[in-house]
Structure 1
Amino acid sequence: MTALIIDDEKHCRDVLSLLLKRYCPIVQIAATCANGAEGQVAIETLRPDLVFLDIEMPGMNGFDMLEACRYTDFQVIFTTAFNEYAIKAIRHNALDYILKPVDKDELIHAVAKAQQKQNTQSPSGIEQLLGFLQNQNVGGRISLPTLEGLQIIDSEDIYYCESDGGYTRFAMKNGQIILISKTLKEVEEVLDTKGFCRVHHSYLINLRYVQRYIRGDGGEVVMANNKALPVSRNKKQEFLSLLEKI
């Protein structure tokens, strides 16, 4: 059984590869891919039997990648920390998922199920999944790669994100600050459909926690934790337009 691993986190790809080689020797890893675009090309070229697919990836998430694929005659095991709606959709279409961090026993079980269904599963399962998701709210939980591993958070608990060079700081509702090794642009690509707005080159804010806007050249936005953040002149109009819709 040939397989692809598609995940934007190198650590996750490496761990999954190691677990598969150690506990699931029937799976031959044809390639690993760091994003959805690479994954789509690999699927069309290599035509694997099985794809281990992360959902939350910047640029093109797992669902978008599946929708873009012309070749769909393969099985999918999602490796995810995603919310209940996506999991419901995955179950509804007889696909499988493993919650991160990956547990070896769950992995062994999922691979065994994929092997059993290899010659019987209808290719339309992926198409049915995507159709189901179009009518669901799939915003929610995301996984953050920290120095200690992966931290699962709810996007609704983020006050704002702040750029720190090649890193991003998450200011959380509970007062916690989480530092991850992703740029703010990458974070924005993940959160841009979840009620967030880039108000400055250094700040991405959660619109639900805006307390007030202070006029100025660009102005300032005061968040629910009383933190005042600058608004860029070139971001001002977009921000105010979104604010009026709340």
Structure 2
Amino acid sequence: MRTIIVDDEKLSRSVLKLLLEKHCPAVNVVAVCADGISALEAIEKYQPDLVFLDVEMPGLNGFEVLQACKDASFSIIVTTSYDHYALDAIRHNALDYLLKPIIREDLVDAVDKAIMRKRQKEQSEGKADSLMEFLHQHLYPGERLALPSPEGLRMLLVKDILYCVADGESTCIHLINGAEPSLVCRSLKEVEGLLKNKGFFRVHHSYLINLNYMDRYIKGDGGDIIMTDGSCIPVSRQRKQEFMDRIEKL
């Protein structure tokens, strides 16, 4: 379990790291930080499962770090010498609260909670993937896609998909008839795999188009495709010849 320790006291950092190494074998400390700013940088870099966070630190204090990470998926265990911070820790959705000096038994219990939460999250994600696989294979075979979205699950008719655009680790799916685009929590590569052999072609590393809605091709270095809704989609130079070969087979 990837773990980050954040504490402005060098001794506290060293003691906690030693306790984790000795009594919590599931924990892998990937970074040790002395202030809130470096903590946020480490969180972005390592994408941890667990963060041990001190409260009183120079620059950003622990609760300001918590506020900056309020939508994060990792667990947070607050560590401090002052028990009056307990209520604030709960309000900021901390998983647990440890008073210094940290007692071994309390530390092990807190880490066990973090491990349990991580397992529950993985099981929940696995169930969602199983549901989508069932929908793909049994409920609407070859007709619909069931894709996770920020709001839950999005059901899309394949024939309504005009083109898809990469948006980081997500994909924005544009639909025919002026319908509002749908943002789904799947990479363009994953969406491309689901639409294999259904009339779609990856013309660019950021674009996947439905060839049935291609209006015309405009020559150029790579060229551009005008879709039936007027959208202009670039064709990369690397994919141009493969695209032209595919068009000839239509």
What TM-score comes out, normalization by structure 2 length?
0.47
Please say which structure displays the higher CA radius of gyration: 2
Compare relative contact order (CA 8 Å, sep 6+) and give the higher one, 1 or 2. 1
